[in-house]
Structure 1
């Protein structure tokens, strides 16, 4: 028996040894392949780099990445969090009113929590110049919740290469909250040492002037401006700096992820290009097909979001920094973006650089100043007066109240534009983002149809939004306005050249389900067709939703409940027939002309 067991043990031992040798071989082969792949990539980059003189480096901190992967706890790995049972609901509600997010929950989440890595897989093996510019990170805060501010600072400290982080400049724009006591500043200085510099303004300056004050204090070769409620991800800075090294007249923006204001979940954002509508509201444009195909390569960004960007210090001051004649905030990202593009530079979004941004509850109104003046209107007109040339009239057409606003002396800004020999705004529209002009034309083509949508089955009833908020399902049928061509706002619909059905507040009819009796929703217009594509057949009087190559649904009135829903189209169903207050039949006859070409452009 003993002999049999000994033989068995020897056989098992040999198998174990062979298995371990096999594993070691696999590990060695894999390591060799990775090493060869990285060296090959670095060699390719060296050859492509101006004669092969620059050295390249993998800037990842693999030790930190491994440690963060093991972190567990509330909100860790960017997972949605929740307050423990028995929390003080009155305290939670009060903090929500002050900050616009779940501030009590924020206090429960670690300042150093780990967040997911949503980067494109190719980003994780990319290398960048060994010598990158020293960087000053400038953050302006005013009465920010301490836990959010500290999470911002800790994420930057933990995930920014030490040798690149020249300084963290924290500009306190005259905070009045009792939470910002000297003890907090001392705690921050003890943690971050000499690299943290605190600038306390003696009066409220507003974001724009406070950022300029921070930039004057900065001594780094590159400036990075960030909001105070962000979380950096691993290796965020090197890819943001590399394009600036390649061309010092370049400014860069990161890919922005979303931090949920309710549960602090870290949500993946998508690459995008910034733009604006003719109310000077920032909008996002889809990537061009060639940019989508080239991901994760940096791509042109017509207009920066404004909150997060990097720029060489010399280029920033060459462009005249921010216009300090602008007040508080609003319009500054347009002015800086126009200057970058029109005055010889380039603005890029860098998908391999990602930061999460905490967006406040949309219902929360931030009070930036105690003044009553329309400072944003002043900013918009000031920017338009210097940079928009003849197109400023388009802005005034959409916002006639701007004509009455005085903007102060702008002679120095006009002289700056002349000295820098900046291109005309028409060049910006035609060259930087020609698709922007198609989506937001300065002079919008006429509507295909407009006015009230009157039920043929019950002519006294019309589709009414009853002034419900955006992102809300609608469908009520209410007594029609006396004038169907110019009804009350809640009954006034436009079938626009975007082929969507919208109201004056830029909210569109949106269908989110193909189920029977599907609801219609009022949703922000996204200009991409799909669930916001509508067509009115003035002959059959059907109001159809969906592109012609999809299964369409039609708007149907329920005369008993006085509600409307979406169902499969039936030209014999009188409840699906509608009259528009005003119909442009010649335009409707060419409704689908060029549609496929537009889809290909998108």
Structure 2
């Protein structure tokens, strides 16, 4: 209660303000109070997804006069019965209208599978008529946001030894609830998504704000902190090895091919061979 009035007050003072509520949570089961740690400025990511879109997917959604029904426990959410992924289609339309030359960073994540996203000419006219700033302007006032174009390498990190068949790719969701979980593997599918990773100038292997982190046990995802340490990695295209900076161990695929492990570096071990797409050493610090 009472969250709307302050927002309307800010808009009343300056109609160009973009406002958002930060609402603490009281559990409907236990009445437990949970402080909200949501940071509004971090609401944007290059997947064009909303972080708090979660919960039971086996229930209908009602949005104004539009009715949507989840048809499975995951991937088919937000699809019409025709099979069209509504969220993906709308995200492509958003990218076409608002992201300017940066839209390619979203398209890379979906394997440039744009499909038919309809006519956006009216949306572009609306943007022009409102004299909206370029997307570059928003990136310049939000310097904390990692820009994929600054990455030394990006794309799918995959096993490049032919003995391993089609190759296993690092595959892991990167939502806040996925932090501290072991990073997994899955056959490479070439569609980006959970297999799209970036190697930053600072030596981070990251999915947006989540970085691969090794502290002596499993290789996990952890919020990127920018302090190197457990999140510092070195990639050598000559040896196809990814070395952990502090432990000096090499990233490898486990014997059962289900997860990532760290091992003493061995140039004869094919499980330690990796290939990063779109590697550009000129971008290294």
Q: Secondary structure, in 3 states, of the residue corresponding to 2:136? A: helix
Evaluate the alpha carbon distance shift between residue 282 and residue 526 of structure 1 in structure 2; reply closer, same or farther with a 3 A threshold: farther
Q: Distance in 2 between matches of 1:510 and 1:270?
A: 22
TM-score by length of 1: 0.31
Whether 1:434 aligns to 2:162 is no
- Counterpart pick for 2:274 among 557, 575, 580: 580
Contact 2:211 2:231 in 1 (8 A): yes
Q: Distance in 1 between matches of 2:225 and 2:164?
A: 30
Post-superposition CA distance 1:171-203 (Å, at most 9, x none)? xxxxxxxxxxxxxxxxxxxxxxxxxxxxxxxxx
Post-superposition CA distance 1:396-452 (Å, at most 9, x none)? 4554332x41424643x444334333233333333x32343xx12357543599542
Report how far residue 374 of structure 1 moved.
3.4
Evaluate the alpha carbon distance shift between residue 379 and residue 263 of structure 1 in structure 2; reply closer, same or farther with a 3 A threshold: same
Post-superposition CA distance 1:341-390 (Å, at most 9, x none)? xxxxxxxxxxxxxxxxxxxxx85965575554333333234333433344
Contact 1:509 1:532 in 2 (8 A): yes
Q: Secondary structure, in 3 states, of the residue corresponding to 2:137? A: helix
- Counterpart pick for 1:280 among 33, 38, 48: 48
Contact 2:234 2:242 in 1 (8 A): yes
Report how far residue 489 of structure 1 moved.
1.2
Q: Secondary structure, in 3 states, of the residue corresponding to 2:22? A: strand
Q: How is 1:449-464 mapped onto 2 (pairs within 5 angstroms)?
A: 450-452=157-159, 464=168
What residue number does 1:489 align with? 188
Contact 1:554 1:576 in 2 (8 A): no
Q: Distance in 1 between matches of 2:105 and 2:265?
A: 41
Bigger Rg over Cα: 1
Q: Distance in 1 between matches of 2:212 and 2:30?
A: 29
Greater fraction of residues in helix: 1
Report how far residue 250 of structure 1 moved.
1.9
Q: Distance in 2 between matches of 1:393 and 1:497?
A: 18
Higher RCO structure (Cα 8 Å, ≥6 apart): 2
TM-score by length of 2: 0.57
Contact 2:205 2:231 in 1 (8 A): yes
Q: Please tell me the root mean square deviation across aligned C-alpha atoms, in Å.
A: 5.5
Contact 2:252 2:261 in 1 (8 A): yes
What residue number does 1:247 align with? 14
Q: Distance in 1 between matches of 2:276 and 2:75?
A: 38
Contact 1:256 1:270 in 2 (8 A): no
Q: How is 1:246-395 mapped onto 2 (pairs within 5 angstroms)?
A: 246-257=13-24, 265-272=32-39, 273-282=41-50, 366=77, 370=81, 372-392=83-103, 395=106
Q: Secondary structure, in 3 states, of the residue corresponding to 2:42? A: strand
What residue number does 1:552 align with? 247
Aligned residues: 254
What residue number does 1:183 align with? none
What residue number does 1:21 align with? none
Evaluate the alpha carbon distance shift between residue 469 and residue 446 of structure 1 in structure 2; reply closer, same or farther with a 3 A threshold: closer
Contact 1:502 1:509 in 2 (8 A): yes
Q: Distance in 2 between matches of 1:449 and 1:401?
A: 16
Evaluate the alpha carbon distance shift between residue 381 and residue 474 of structure 1 in structure 2; reply closer, same or farther with a 3 A threshold: closer
Structure 1 unaligned spans of 5+: 1-155, 161-235, 284-304, 307-326, 330-361, 477-486, 594-602
Structure 2 unaligned spans of 5+: 54-65
Contact 2:168 2:187 in 1 (8 A): no
What residue number does 1:535 align with? 234
Evaluate the alpha carbon distance shift between residue 453 and residue 264 of structure 1 in structure 2; reply closer, same or farther with a 3 A threshold: farther
Report how far residue 539 of structure 1 moved.
8.4
Evaluate the alpha carbon distance shift between residue 261 and residue 370 of structure 1 in structure 2; reply closer, same or farther with a 3 A threshold: farther
Q: Secondary structure, in 3 states, of the residue corresponding to 1:376? A: helix
